Amino acid sequence: MPNQDQLSLFDDSTLGQPEPAAATAPDLIPTDAKIPIPPGTYQTMNQLAEHCNSCHRCDLGNSRTHAVIGRGNLQAPILIVGEGPGQNEDETGLPFVGKSGQLLEKILASVNLNTERDVYIANMVKCRPPSNRLPTPNEIAACKPYLLEQIRMVDPKIILLTGATAVRGITGDKRGITKIRGTWIEWEGRLCMPIFHPAYLLRNPSREPGAPKWLMWQDMQAVRDKLDEISK
Ligand code: URA
């Protein structure tokens, strides 16, 4: 469990401002860091991945097989934020490769979005919570600077927040996902769209108008339209 010192390290108030040169080489930042990881610390995703794989800012580092960093296009216009790795992801080191991931691929394909070309996929926390429980607020706070660095490096036009954990983790908005989904939120100068988590759709397979899958389809069409509009 990170202490208060650790939690206060990850000041994101400078996001959107010119990036300072990294204060410290990533290699020199202890993996149970008591010093900040400022925006601009990592020059490459590989550097960040290496650091995550030896990270012990929270206890999830004790039980992981692999830290799960991300997959997709490092210059994608859309970045997707999930919750955290499950068993398949922990084993492979790749996000969304289990059943939820297969559904996510189908959802993206339904609006002609391609994982290798159009999206980069990452999670709120990089290490698997035991028994697939929700990541705790402390775990999310400990891991958030890594995600902020990923967002800075990929520099997406649109961020898709899958489920309430991602919405809360990024924007701080505590509303339930059924309330907030489908509405554009501006965060740090980026457009964010909260959508249902694919696992929720697996539990609610109806495609009737008004059902979660149908609502997801509406939201993804809005995302497609927005991407087309801002890419003109
Ligand atoms: N669910 C998530 O939120 N992320 C993954 O990587 C896999 C399943």
Model confidence pLDDT, tens digit, residues 69-85: 999 999 999 999 999 99
Q: Which has the higher per-residue pLDDT, 1 or 201?
A: 201
Average pLDDT score over residue span 26-48: 75
Please tell me the distance from the alpha carbon of residue 13 to that of residue 36, in angstroms, as a whole number.
13
Predicted local confidence at residue 25, as pLDDT: 60
Model confidence pLDDT, tens digit, residues 120-157: 999 999 999 999 999 999 999 999 999 999 999 999 99
- For the chain, the average pLDDT equals 89
Tell whether ligand 1 has an atom less than 6 A from the beta carbon of residue 70.
Answer: no
Average pLDDT score over residue span 191-218: 97
182: left (phi over 0), alpha (psi -120 to 50) or beta: left
Sign of the alpha-carbon dihedral angle for 6, 172, 69, 103: positive
Question: How many structural domains does the chain have?
Answer: 1
* CATH number of 176's domain: 3.40.470.10
Distance 226 CA to ligand 1 centre (A): 25
Tell whether ligand 1 has an atom less than 6 A from the beta carbon of residue 163.
Answer: no
Tell whether ligand 1 has an atom less than 6 A from the beta carbon of residue 41.
Answer: no
Q: Does 99 score more than 60 pLDDT? A: yes
Its pTM stands at 0.87
Tell whether ligand 1 has an atom less than 6 A from the beta carbon of residue 212.
Answer: no
Average pLDDT score over residue span 17-36: 52
Which protein residue's CA is at the shortest distance from atom 8 of ligand 1? 96
In the chain, count of helices (H) and strands (E)?
10, 6
Tell whether ligand 1 has an atom less than 6 A from the beta carbon of residue 86.
Answer: yes
Q: Which has the higher per-residue pLDDT, 1 or 198?
A: 198
Torsion angle, CA of 113/148/169/54, rounded to 10 degrees?
Answer: 100
Q: Which has the higher per-residue pLDDT, 98 or 8?
A: 98
Sign of the alpha-carbon dihedral angle for 125, 82, 121, 188: negative
Full domain range(s) for residue 198: 4-230
CB-CB neighbours of 125 under 10 Å? 26
69: left (phi over 0), alpha (psi -120 to 50) or beta: alpha
Model confidence pLDDT, tens digit, residues 176-204: 999 999 999 999 999 999 999 999 999 99
Sign of the alpha-carbon dihedral angle for 216, 146, 69, 139: negative
